[in-house]
A and B are shown apart, each in its own frame.
Chain A
Amino acid sequence: SQQGEEDPQALSIQEGENATMNCSYKTSINNLQWYRQNSGRGLVHLILIRSNEREKHSGRLRVTLDTSKKSSSLLITASRAADTASYFCATAGGNNRLAFGKGNQVVVIP
C-alpha cells in the first residue's frame, strides 16, 4: 500500500534557520502532499506536488519530488517560532485514500 514515511527525527532549530524534512514512499503515486499539525489540532494542507512535477514553491515552502527514488523533501526557509508543529507527508495514488506518514516534529526556538 502507498505510505508516506518521514525521517523520524525531531528537528530543533533557531528562528531564521531553514528546516528540511524528508519523506519516502513505496509505490507509484498521483501526487504527494504535505500537511502541518499544531499540537491537538487538525491537519492543515500546505502544498501538493504532482507526480510529473519535480519542485514546487509556496511562500517560504519548497517541496521537491524524486519519483525515481520515491522520495520528497519539504524545506521551510527563514523559520519562525510559529512554524513549530508536526509536518506530515501523504501520498495519493489511484485509490480514494491519502496515506500519511508518521510525522516530523519541528521546534523553532525564538
Chain B
Amino acid sequence: EPEVTQTPSHQVTQMGQEVILRCVPISNHLYFYWYRQILGQKVEFLVSFYNNEISEKSEIFDDQFSVERPDGSNFTLKIRSTKLEDSAMYFCASSEAQTGELFFGEGSRLTVL
C-alpha cells in the first residue's frame, strides 16, 4: 500500500540552526501539506502546496519557513533559524483532491535546544 515517508524520524538541533525535514508523498497525489503538533496539543496547519507553489499558509508559517519540491518526488520543509518553540512533531501529508482524505507520514520529531 502506498504511503507517505518522512525523514529524519527525530532531529535534535541547536537554536539558530537550519533544519530541513524531508517527505516523499504518495506518487500520484497532487496536494501536499505540512502540519505540526506540539506535544499533547492540537494538530496545526502550516502550509499547503499545489502545482509547484504554495496555495495556503497559516500565520505560523512565517519567513523562517519555506517549502520546496525540488525533484518531483521529495517535498521539503526548511526552517532557517530554529527557535525553542519550533520543537514539535512535524507531519507531512498528501492527497489526491483538494478537500479529500489526507494521507500522513509518521512524522519528524524536532527538538530545538
Considering only CB atoms and an 8 Å cut-off, how many residues of chain A contact the other chain?
Answer: 23
Interface centre among B91, B98, B99, B106 (most CB of A within 10 A): B99
- Give the complex CA separation of A60 and B18 in angstroms: 45
Interface SS of chain A: helix, strand, loop or mixed? Answer: strand
- Count CB-based A-B contacts (< 8 Å): 58
- A102 CB contacts on chain B under 8 angstroms: 41-42
CB distance from B59 to the nearest CB of A (A): 10
Judged by a CB distance under 8 angstroms, whether B19 is at the interface is: no
CB distance from A7 to the nearest CB of B (A): 14
Question: Given that A97-B58, A102-B41 are contacting pairs, would A45 and B99 also be in contact in the complex, using a CB cutoff of 8 Å?
Answer: no
- Give the complex CA separation of A102 and B44 in angstroms: 9
- B15 CB contacts on chain A under 8 angstroms: none
Interface residue from A41, A42, A92, A101 paired with B99 (Cβ < 8 Å): A92
Interface residues on B, range: 20 to 34
- Give the complex CA separation of A97 and B59 in angstroms: 13
CB distance from B43 to the nearest CB of A (A): 4
Given contacts A35-B102, A42-B105, A96-B55, 15 further A-B contacts (CB under 8 A): A42-B106, A43-B102, A48-B101, A88-B42, A93-B99, A95-B56, A96-B31, A97-B58, A98-B33, A99-B45, A100-B42, A100-B44, A100-B45, A101-B42, A103-B43
